[in-house]
């Protein structure tokens, strides 16, 4: 499903954030990604979500080499990847329902299907009554819930989550973990970045540890 071979990433010449990263994520697997702040977790997720390009090495996803993927083919692959980022990336001029519905609209779903799925997910994440709210009036935790709902609404092939429970209380964090588990059981490959060692200890999933830009063996 996902394979990285000797991947490196630098934003400034001579300052690699990631170096010589090699790893494989099998289809339908669930992995935690952890490491200290600045270890390169967010950079790795940005590579896998096609937001940036690797400086060196080779990345394969869905059976094809995506290292030098041209812009024409990126949208098709991006639709197969759900991503939850620390800064939410909600569009301020849209309502919460409109934000959550975006992936379905891009996929060409009917209005009837969109309304039903958005209603179901907003209820599940505890945002009932916020359909018409704008992101600006929501708390950080509520924005995170909306971002998670948007990321999983299409049941993507791959879910990349960057500290998805960071702004949630422990009860809601576990609730979302169970949602991620359910998606995984239905076929979604999950890579969840977190520094929460307690959360990691509650689940029996493999842990990838980043240190100084490298995956520890």
pLDDT tens track for 91-139: 999 999 999 999 999 889 999 999 999 999 999 888 999 999 999 999 9
**pTM for the model:** 0.90
User: Distance between the two ends of the chain, CA-based, in angstroms?
Assistant: 20
Work out the average pLDDT over 27-51.
92
Every domain range in the chain assigned CATH 3.40.50.300: 1-80+157-217
C-alpha 184/C-alpha 207 separation (Å) is 16
Residue with tokens 């849209």: 94
C-alpha 95/C-alpha 10 separation (Å) is 36
Beta carbons of 29 and 1 less than 8 angstroms apart: yes
**91 to each of 65, 102, 115, 124, 195, how far by Cα in Å?**
31, 10, 18, 21, 27
Architecture of domain 1-80+157-217: 3-Layer(aba) Sandwich (3.40)
Looking at the predicted structure, is the pLDDT value of residue 214 above 80? yes
């Amino acid at each position: 499903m996902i394979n990285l071979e000797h991947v490196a990433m630098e934003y400034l010449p001579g300052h690699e954030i990631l170096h010589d990263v090699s790893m494989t994520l099998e289809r339908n697997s669930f992995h935690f990604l952890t490491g200290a702040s600045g270890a390169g977790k967010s950079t790795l997720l940005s590579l896998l979500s096609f937001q940036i390009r690797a400086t060196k090495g080779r990345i394969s996803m869905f059976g094809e080499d995506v290292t030098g993927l041209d812009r024409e083919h990126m949208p098709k692959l991006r639709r197969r990847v759900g991503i939850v980022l620390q800064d939410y990336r909600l569009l301020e001029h849209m309502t919460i329902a409109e934000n959550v519905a975006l992936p379905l609209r891009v996929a060409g779903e009917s209005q009837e299907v969109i309304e039903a799925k958005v209603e179901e997910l907003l209820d599940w994440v505890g945002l009932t009554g916020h359909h018409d709210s704008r992101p600006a009036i929501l708390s950080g935790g509520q924005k995170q819930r909306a971002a998670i709902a948007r990321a999983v609404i299409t049941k993507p092939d791959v879910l990349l989550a960057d500290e998805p429970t960071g702004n949630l209380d422990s009860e809601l964090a576990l609730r979302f973990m169970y949602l991620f588990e359910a998606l995984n059981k239905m076929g979604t490959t999950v890579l969840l970045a977190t520094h929460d060692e307690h959360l990691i200890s509650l689940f029996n999933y493999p842990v990838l540890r980043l240190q100084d830009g490298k995956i520890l063996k």
